[in-house]
Every structure is written in structure tokens, then in C-alpha cells.
Amino acid sequence: AQSVTQLGSHVSVSEGALVLLRCNYSSSVPPYLFWYVQYPNQGLQLLLKYTTGATLVKGINGFEAEFKKSETSFHLTKPSAHMSDAAEYFCAVSDRGDYKLSFGAGTTVTVRA
């Protein structure tokens, strides 16, 4: 089974600053990669995904992520944080041919005014 590591359980950024959330996975074979966001007392919402093709993936709400095979990473970024970005973010991976996801422990983002 895949192992997923999210560096930093809490990230605090100023409004307007760059948001960078880190995700590394364990497989030597490129998996499918996902980022989800969870707002308080809600379910998880898909932000973006990488399945094949272009390694820079754009998602909703101005987020994007880049798949780097050599680094086994799929870091999530947003150039300018907004107060509404305060939430918990989860990275998830799936081996190709598998229909299960392995999740990271999550990163909580706080946005300072």
C-alpha cells in the first residue's frame, strides 16, 4: 500500500501570501494523485487531481499542484491566500489499477488578516 507524507500538520500564512503544502508518496511507479479540501464540519471536496499528461495541474479556487516524479512529490500551491482558504487539506494517492486511496494525515491552513 502507498504511504503518503504531508509535511507540517499546521501552516499559518498571511492573507495575500503564498500557500505551499507539501505531499510526498512512496511508490516508485507514478500513481494517481489527489488533493482534497475539508471545511469545518463538512465532507471532503476534490481540489485537483493528476492522472496522466501535463504535470502541472490546475484546480478550483486558484490552487495548482505539480507532479515531480524524480522527487515523488505532489506539492499544492496558491499564489495569494484568501481568508476563505482556511481549511484542512489532504493529499491522497492511488496505485494504478487500484480503486482505493491512501490519505496523508492532513494539513490545517490558517490565514492571518
Partner 1 sequence: DAGITQSPRHKVTETGTPVTLRCHQTENHRYMYWYRQDPGHGLRLIHYSYGVKDTDKGEVSDGYSVSRSKTEDFLLTLESATSSQTSVYFCAISGGSPHPTQYFGPGTRLLVL
Complex with partner 1: residue 45 or 55, whichever CB lies closer: 45
Nearest distance from C-beta of residue 106 to partner 1, angstroms: 5
Measured CA to CA, the distance from residue 49 to residue 67 in angstroms comes to 10
Q: Which residues bind partner 1 (CB under 8 A)?
A: 1, 4, 9, 32, 34, 36, 41-46, 49, 51, 90, 94, 98-101, 103-106
Nearest distance from C-beta of residue 79 to partner 1, angstroms: 25
Q: Over the range 1-28, which residues count as b (16 or more CB within 10 Å of their CB) and which as e?
A: ebebebeeeebebeeeeebebbbbbebe
DSSP, collapsed to helix, strand or coil, labels residue 34 as strand
Nearest distance from C-beta of residue 81 to partner 1, angstroms: 22
Complex with partner 1: residue 18 or 46, whichever CB lies closer: 46
Complex with partner 1: residue 66 or 95, whichever CB lies closer: 95
Nearest distance from C-beta of residue 72 to partner 1, angstroms: 18
Measured CA to CA, the distance from residue 33 to residue 48 in angstroms comes to 9
Closest CA to 105 of 28, 18, 22: 22
